[in-house]
Protein backbone atom coordinates (compact mmCIF):
# COMPACT_ATOMS: atom_id res chain seq x y z
CA UNK A 1 0.00 0.00 0.00
CA UNK A 2 1.35 3.41 -0.97
CA UNK A 3 1.93 5.82 1.89
CA UNK A 4 1.47 9.50 1.05
CA UNK A 5 2.43 12.46 3.23
CA UNK A 6 0.57 15.67 2.38
CA UNK A 7 1.78 19.08 3.54
CA UNK A 8 -0.77 21.90 3.41
CA UNK A 9 0.65 25.40 3.81
CA UNK A 10 -2.08 27.86 2.81
CA UNK A 11 -3.13 30.45 5.39
CA UNK A 12 -6.57 30.85 3.77
CA UNK A 13 -8.37 27.86 5.29
CA UNK A 14 -11.64 27.09 3.50
CA UNK A 15 -10.83 29.74 0.87
CA UNK A 16 -7.59 28.03 -0.15
CA UNK A 17 -7.34 27.02 -3.80
CA UNK A 18 -4.35 24.76 -3.16
CA UNK A 19 -6.20 22.97 -0.36
CA UNK A 20 -9.12 22.24 -2.70
CA UNK A 21 -6.73 20.71 -5.22
CA UNK A 22 -5.01 18.71 -2.48
CA UNK A 23 -8.41 17.39 -1.37
CA UNK A 24 -9.08 16.32 -4.97
CA UNK A 25 -5.73 14.54 -5.13
CA UNK A 26 -6.25 12.95 -1.72
CA UNK A 27 -9.64 11.53 -2.72
CA UNK A 28 -8.18 9.95 -5.84
CA UNK A 29 -5.24 8.44 -3.99
CA UNK A 30 -7.40 7.09 -1.18
CA UNK A 31 -9.73 5.64 -3.82
CA UNK A 32 -6.75 3.58 -4.97
CA UNK A 33 -6.12 2.33 -1.45
CA UNK A 34 -3.28 4.66 -0.50
CA UNK A 35 -2.70 5.58 3.13
CA UNK A 36 -2.68 9.38 3.31
CA UNK A 37 -1.31 11.43 6.21
CA UNK A 38 -2.07 15.17 6.22
CA UNK A 39 -0.04 17.78 8.09
CA UNK A 40 -1.53 21.27 7.98
CA UNK A 41 1.38 23.64 8.55
CA UNK A 42 -0.88 26.68 8.84
CA UNK A 43 -3.35 25.17 11.32
CA UNK A 44 -0.49 23.70 13.37
CA UNK A 45 2.42 26.10 12.74
CA UNK A 46 6.00 25.05 13.37
CA UNK A 47 8.56 27.24 15.17
CA UNK A 48 10.51 29.77 13.14
CA UNK A 49 14.23 29.10 12.80
CA UNK A 50 16.35 31.39 14.96
CA UNK A 51 19.84 31.23 16.42
CA UNK A 52 18.84 29.18 19.45
CA UNK A 53 16.96 26.62 17.37
CA UNK A 54 19.70 26.42 14.73
CA UNK A 55 22.27 25.59 17.42
CA UNK A 56 19.90 23.13 19.07
CA UNK A 57 19.35 21.20 15.85
CA UNK A 58 23.00 20.21 15.98
CA UNK A 59 22.26 18.17 19.09
CA UNK A 60 24.48 17.84 22.13
CA UNK A 61 24.22 17.36 25.87
CA UNK A 62 23.68 20.95 26.98
CA UNK A 63 20.47 21.94 25.23
CA UNK A 64 17.92 24.31 26.68
CA UNK A 65 14.38 22.99 27.24
CA UNK A 66 13.26 24.88 24.11
CA UNK A 67 16.09 23.39 22.06
CA UNK A 68 15.26 19.89 23.29
CA UNK A 69 11.61 20.38 22.38
CA UNK A 70 12.34 21.63 18.86
CA UNK A 71 14.97 18.95 18.25
CA UNK A 72 12.42 16.27 19.19
CA UNK A 73 9.90 17.89 16.85
CA UNK A 74 12.46 17.97 14.04
CA UNK A 75 13.22 14.27 14.59
CA UNK A 76 9.48 13.56 14.41
CA UNK A 77 9.12 15.46 11.12
CA UNK A 78 12.08 13.66 9.57
CA UNK A 79 10.80 10.25 10.70
CA UNK A 80 7.38 11.09 9.27
CA UNK A 81 8.92 12.03 5.92
CA UNK A 82 11.04 8.87 5.77
CA UNK A 83 8.05 6.67 6.65
CA UNK A 84 6.15 7.66 3.49
CA UNK A 85 6.71 6.78 -0.16
CA UNK A 86 5.39 10.02 -1.64
CA UNK A 87 5.51 13.61 -0.41
CA UNK A 88 2.83 15.99 -1.64
CA UNK A 89 3.42 19.68 -1.03
CA UNK A 90 0.66 22.25 -1.42
CA UNK A 91 2.61 25.38 -2.28
CA UNK A 92 0.58 28.50 -3.04
CA UNK A 93 2.63 31.40 -4.34
CA UNK A 94 2.78 34.29 -1.89
CA UNK A 95 4.66 37.33 -3.22
CA UNK A 96 6.47 35.11 -5.73
CA UNK A 97 7.67 32.62 -3.11
CA UNK A 98 6.48 29.92 -0.72
CA UNK A 99 4.47 30.46 2.48
CA UNK A 100 6.44 31.01 5.66
CA UNK A 101 4.68 28.00 7.14
CA UNK A 102 6.25 25.72 4.51
CA UNK A 103 9.69 27.31 4.93
CA UNK A 104 9.52 26.51 8.65
CA UNK A 105 9.01 22.81 7.81
CA UNK A 106 11.97 22.86 5.43
CA UNK A 107 14.20 24.50 8.06
CA UNK A 108 13.39 21.72 10.55
CA UNK A 109 13.80 18.88 8.06
CA UNK A 110 16.91 19.91 6.09
CA UNK A 111 19.57 18.85 8.62
CA UNK A 112 23.21 18.00 8.02
CA UNK A 113 23.94 14.41 8.99
CA UNK A 114 20.24 13.58 9.09
CA UNK A 115 18.66 14.31 5.70
CA UNK A 116 21.83 15.27 3.84
CA UNK A 117 25.56 15.02 4.29
CA UNK A 118 28.70 16.53 2.82
CA UNK A 119 31.16 14.29 0.98
CA UNK A 120 34.45 14.86 -0.84
CA UNK A 121 32.48 15.21 -4.07
CA UNK A 122 29.83 17.53 -2.66
CA UNK A 123 26.51 17.25 -0.78
CA UNK A 124 24.55 13.99 -0.82
CA UNK A 125 20.87 13.63 0.06
CA UNK A 126 19.96 10.93 2.57
CA UNK A 127 16.19 10.79 1.92
CA UNK A 128 16.26 8.38 -1.00
CA UNK A 129 13.66 6.32 -2.83
CA UNK A 130 10.94 8.94 -2.48
CA UNK A 131 8.72 10.74 -4.96
CA UNK A 132 7.38 14.26 -4.56
CA UNK A 133 4.40 16.06 -6.06
CA UNK A 134 4.17 19.84 -5.92
CA UNK A 135 0.71 21.38 -6.15
CA UNK A 136 1.22 25.09 -6.67
CA UNK A 137 -1.45 27.76 -7.10
CA UNK A 138 -1.00 31.37 -8.06
CA UNK A 139 -3.14 34.33 -8.98
CA UNK A 140 -1.24 35.10 -12.19
CA UNK A 141 0.73 33.13 -14.76
CA UNK A 142 4.32 32.36 -13.71
CA UNK A 143 5.05 28.81 -14.92
CA UNK A 144 8.65 28.52 -16.16
CA UNK A 145 9.11 32.27 -15.73
CA UNK A 146 11.72 34.25 -13.83
CA UNK A 147 9.02 35.30 -11.35
CA UNK A 148 8.45 31.72 -10.15
CA UNK A 149 10.49 31.28 -6.99
CA UNK A 150 8.28 28.42 -5.79
CA UNK A 151 8.89 25.41 -8.03
CA UNK A 152 12.62 25.90 -8.74
CA UNK A 153 13.32 26.48 -5.05
CA UNK A 154 11.36 23.45 -3.87
CA UNK A 155 12.98 21.22 -6.50
CA UNK A 156 16.39 22.42 -5.33
CA UNK A 157 15.62 21.73 -1.65
CA UNK A 158 14.07 18.33 -2.36
CA UNK A 159 16.97 17.32 -4.59
CA UNK A 160 19.41 18.44 -1.92
CA UNK A 161 17.93 16.00 0.60
CA UNK A 162 17.73 13.20 -1.99
CA UNK A 163 14.27 13.48 -3.57
CA UNK A 164 14.93 13.84 -7.28
CA UNK A 165 11.66 12.50 -8.69
CA UNK A 166 9.44 15.60 -8.57
CA UNK A 167 6.24 16.23 -10.51
CA UNK A 168 4.35 19.52 -10.52
CA UNK A 169 0.68 20.41 -10.81
CA UNK A 170 0.04 24.07 -11.67
CA UNK A 171 -3.11 26.02 -10.89
CA UNK A 172 -2.54 29.39 -12.55
CA UNK A 173 -4.39 32.63 -13.38
CA UNK A 174 -6.70 32.04 -10.42
CA UNK A 175 -7.16 35.74 -9.65
CA UNK A 176 -7.64 36.82 -13.26
CA UNK A 177 -11.42 36.56 -13.29
CA UNK A 178 -14.03 33.81 -12.77
CA UNK A 179 -13.51 32.21 -16.17
CA UNK A 180 -9.73 32.07 -15.81
CA UNK A 181 -10.12 30.69 -12.29
CA UNK A 182 -12.45 27.95 -13.43
CA UNK A 183 -10.15 27.02 -16.30
CA UNK A 184 -7.07 27.03 -14.08
CA UNK A 185 -8.66 24.78 -11.46
CA UNK A 186 -10.07 22.46 -14.14
CA UNK A 187 -6.68 22.06 -15.80
CA UNK A 188 -5.02 21.40 -12.44
CA UNK A 189 -7.59 18.72 -11.58
CA UNK A 190 -6.99 17.07 -14.94
CA UNK A 191 -3.26 17.03 -14.22
CA UNK A 192 -3.95 15.45 -10.84
CA UNK A 193 -6.14 12.74 -12.35
CA UNK A 194 -3.45 11.90 -14.92
CA UNK A 195 -0.81 11.85 -12.22
CA UNK A 196 -2.61 9.36 -9.96
CA UNK A 197 -4.06 7.22 -12.78
Instruction: Please tell me the distance from the alpha carbon of residue 169 to that of residue 175, in angstroms, as a whole number.
Output: 17
Q: Tell me: is residue 55 an annotated ligand-binding position.
A: no
Q: Model confidence over 141-180: pLDDT tens digits?
A: 888 888 899 999 999 999 999 999 999 998 876 778 788 7
Q: Tell me: is residue 129 an annotated ligand-binding position.
A: no
Q: Tell me: is residue 140 an annotated ligand-binding position.
A: yes
Q: Tell me: is residue 122 an annotated ligand-binding position.
A: no
Percent of the chain topping pLDDT 70: 99
DSSP 32-66: TT-EEEEEETTTSPPPPP-HHHHHHTT--S---HH
DSSP 127-170: --S-EEEEEEE-SS--TTSTT--SHHHHHHHHHHTT--EEEEEE
Q: Tell me: is residue 191 an annotated ligand-binding position.
A: no
- State the pLDDT at residue 171: 83
Q: Tell me: is residue 194 an annotated ligand-binding position.
A: no
Q: Tell me: is residue 136 an annotated ligand-binding position.
A: no
Q: Tell me: is residue 176 an annotated ligand-binding position.
A: no
**Structural domains in the chain?**
3-196 (3.40.50.360)
Q: Tell me: is residue 58 an annotated ligand-binding position.
A: no
Q: What does pTM read for this prediction? A: 0.92
Amino acid sequence: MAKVLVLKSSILGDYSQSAKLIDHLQQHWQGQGAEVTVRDLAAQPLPVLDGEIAMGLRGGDELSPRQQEVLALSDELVAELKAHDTLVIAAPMYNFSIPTQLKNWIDLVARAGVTFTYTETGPKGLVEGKRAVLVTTRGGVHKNGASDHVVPYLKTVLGFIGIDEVETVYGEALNMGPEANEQGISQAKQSIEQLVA
